[in-house]
Amino acid sequence: MLDDGLRVERVSRRHSVDGHPTIIRVAYPEGPLWQQFRSHLLALILPAPAILLFAGLADISWRREHCSRFSRWHARRARSGAIDLHEEAAGQPVGRGTGRPGASLQLPAAAPERQSFEQLRRFTSDASHELRTPLAAMRSVGEVGLQKECSPARYHRTLSAACLKKRTS
């Protein structure tokens, strides 16, 4: 504030003039600065309710459209006898306890999907069995071979016989 009561905003900066350090100060009256601040603030605040109203209406409209599409899709799935492949695999539905939205995560009940799911399950079971049998046989030969103290040559022959037997069969 100046001696005459005028409120000012001061800015100071150090400079060098002819090799001498100098401080240059500039003062602006605060009145026009506050007036400009208020006008900018009003320009931001006044349209805010209209923007929020527009965003809310757009959100309601968007939700209504997409929820009705979801409801139509869900009804179509229910009429076509939709199934949930995860339910078949785990023995319980994915949407249990979640109501209608959880129940809608279902796949079409077309025969090809069921067949491919069943083929994949069968393949996994067969592959697991095919790998377990030779490994179990090799392990049993190794365990029997390790029951007695033998020479390294005898261990080598036992393990070689187990590996060669499995390769030829």
pLDDT tens sequence across 20-41 = 999 998 888 888 888 899 889 9
Is a pLDDT exceeding 70 seen at residue 83?
Answer: no
Q: Has this prediction a pTM greater than 0.85?
A: no
Give the number of other Cβ atoms within 10 Å of residue 112's Cβ.
8
In 3-state terms, what secondary structure has residue 42? helix
